Amino acid sequence: MVQLRSDMKVDLIDHLGGDHSIVRAARVSSGTSSDPVKDRGLLNMLVRDRHGSPFESVTLQFKVEAPVFVAREWFRHRVSSFNETSGRYKVMEPVFYKPKTGRPLRQIGKPGAYTFEAGDYEQNAVVAGEHYRMAKEAWNSYQRMLDKGIAREVARNILPFSLYTSFYWAVNLRSAMNFLSLRWAHENSTVPTFLCTRSSRPLSRSRSTPPK
């Protein structure tokens, strides 16, 4: 049975190092000793002034569930390691992405200078219906080929980008923070980020402004 969902799942599976690793790496440059009170101030200064190399002392491993098209964008950040579910070795699950209700659907303007606008009732209905129809048709075709003994790596070709995949992501903390600064829009972001909303203007915050 085809399942449609619009969420993504990210779980922290493992990590190596912590605040002590960052402080230890930072203090080697000055030869100063560690102190709990001063260490917190040092960490805040490193983040505020974007002294990134000490944060490379911490390694994180996540498990991610996301549509294939999201995973391909994720993999473009070539600062980490990935191991993904393979359709060559296992039968994929019939789970597909459908935009959630309320997601902006209309792209207005030209590349680099466009905004996203909300869709009307008819557009939302078409999006929901077409995502389900194509997911069902693709999955049925996939199953028919598998039932005829066709290799998984051939049968998978019929599956769309909306299929959910899963992968492990191993990344150091500095690279993870850089990834979030580019991919997660937030009003308190120090580095400009972008929202898929009515406004295409970046959200930014002066470094001199204390975080809320």
Q: Which among 183, 174, 171, 210 is positioned nearest to 51, based on CA atoms? A: 174
Report the pLDDT value the prediction gives residue 165, as an integer from 0 to 100: 97
Res 191: pLDDT: 59
DSSP, res 30: T
> Domain spanning 3-17+58-183 has what CATH number?
3.30.1360.170
Q: What is the mean pLDDT of the chain?
A: 85
Among 40, 48, 183, 201, the active-site one is 183
Give the span between the Cα atoms of 115 and 100, in whole angstroms: 19
Residue pLDDT, tens place only, 52-88? 899 999 999 999 999 999 999 999 888 899 999 999 9
Q: How many residues does the chain have?
A: 212
The pLDDT value given to residue 193? 58
Q: For residue 81, how far is the Cα from the chain centroid?
A: 14
The domain locations on the chain are 3-17+58-183
Q: Exposed, middle or buried: residue 97 (CB in 10 Å: 0-12, 13-18, 19+)?
A: buried
pLDDT in tens, 170-209: 999 999 988 888 877 666 666 555 544 333 333 333 333 3
Annotated active-site residue 183? The verdict is yes
